[in-house]
C-alpha cells in the first residue's frame, strides 16, 4: 500500500478531518493528496500556530493532525508544553524525522536526531513509524490513543518512508 493511502485510510478510520501543516519535499505530495480527498488543510506560517488551530478545532468538535518536519516541531515546544500537555488537547502528529540516516545538514541534527528525547522530556508520547509494519495501522492506533486519552501522540517518519514501506 502506498503510504499516502495509508495516511488517508487511517485518518478516515479515526475521523481526523483537519490537517494543520507546514510542508517539506516529502510532505508536499501527501498534502496534495489530502486536499484531493477533501481533508480540511490549514497551512500555517509557523508550526506552533498549528497547535492552536488543532486545539480550536477540537473545541469545535473536530479531530486534527499536525504534519510538519522535526525542525518545525521544535518550533512548537512552548505551545505543547503550556497548552497541549497541561490541558490535554489531543492531536496526532505525522512528522518527517530529520537528523538521522543520510542526513546531510548539521542544522537538522540537534532537534531532529534528538527529537524523541526532547518529546520525552516534554511528556509527549511518540514513536518511530516502522516501515516493516503496517503503516496504516500504526497511524490509526496513534490517533486512537490520542483521542481516547486526550493527549498528543507524535509519529516520527523516516524521510525515505515512501521507498521503505
Partner 1 sequence: MSTYPEDAADQYRCIELVLETTPDAAVISNLGTSSWSLIDIEDRERNFYMNGAMGLTTATALGLAISTDDQVTVLDGDGSLLMSLGVLSTVAERDPSNLTIVVMNNGAFETTGRQPTLSKNVDVGAVAADCSLESWSVGSTEEFADAYAAAVEHDGAALIDLAVEPFTPEDYPSLDYAHSHIKHRFRTAMAGDR
Give the footprint of partner 1 on this chain (CB under 8 A): 18, 20, 40, 42-46, 48-62, 64, 78-79, 81-83, 86-89, 150
Closer residue to partner 1 (CB): 7 or 55: 55
Shortest Å, Cβ 9 to partner 1:
23
Cα pseudo-dihedral 77, 69, 94, 73, rounded to 10: 0
Closer residue to partner 1 (CB): 29 or 88: 88
Strands of 152-157's sheet in order across: 40-43, 16-21, 63-69, 91-96, 152-157, 125-128
Shortest Å, Cβ 100 to partner 1:
29
Segments in 38-155 forming alpha helices (H):
47-59, 70-74, 77-79, 85-87, 109-113, 115-122, 135-149
Closer residue to partner 1 (CB): 53 or 68: 53
Closer residue to partner 1 (CB): 121 or 133: 121
Classify burial at 88, counting beta carbons within 10 Å of its beta carbon; exposed 0-12, middle 13-18, buried 19 or more.
Answer: exposed
Amino acid at each position: 500500500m502506498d503510504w499516502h493511502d495509508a495516511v488517508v485510510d487511517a485518518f478516515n478510520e479515526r475521523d481526523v478531518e483537519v490537517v494543520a501543516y507546514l510542508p517539506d519535499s516529502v510532505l508536499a505530495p501527501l498534502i496534495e493528496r489530502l486536499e484531493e480527498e477533501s481533508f480540511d488543510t490549514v497551512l500555517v506560517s509557523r508550526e506552533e500556530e498549528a497547535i492552536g488551530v488543532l486545539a480550536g478545532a477540537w473545541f469545535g468538535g473536530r479531530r486534527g493532525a499536525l504534519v510538519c518536519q522535526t525542525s518545525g516541531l521544535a518550533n512548537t515546544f512552548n505551545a505543547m508544553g503550556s497548552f497541549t500537555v497541561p490541558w490535554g488537547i489531543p492531536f496526532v502528529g505525522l512528522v518527517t524525522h530529520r537528523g538521522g540516516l543520510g542526513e546531510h545538514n548539521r542544522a537538522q541534527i540537534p532537534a531532529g536526531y534528538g527529537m524523541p528525547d526532547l518529546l520525552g522530556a516534554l511528556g509527549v508520547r511518540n514513536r518511530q513509524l516502522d516501515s516493516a509494519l503496517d503503516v496504516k495501522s500504526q497511524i490509526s492506533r496513534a490517533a486512537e490513543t490520542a483521542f481516547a486519552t486526550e493527549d498528543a501522540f507524535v509519529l516520527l517518519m523516516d524521510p525515505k518512508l515512501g521507498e521503505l514501506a
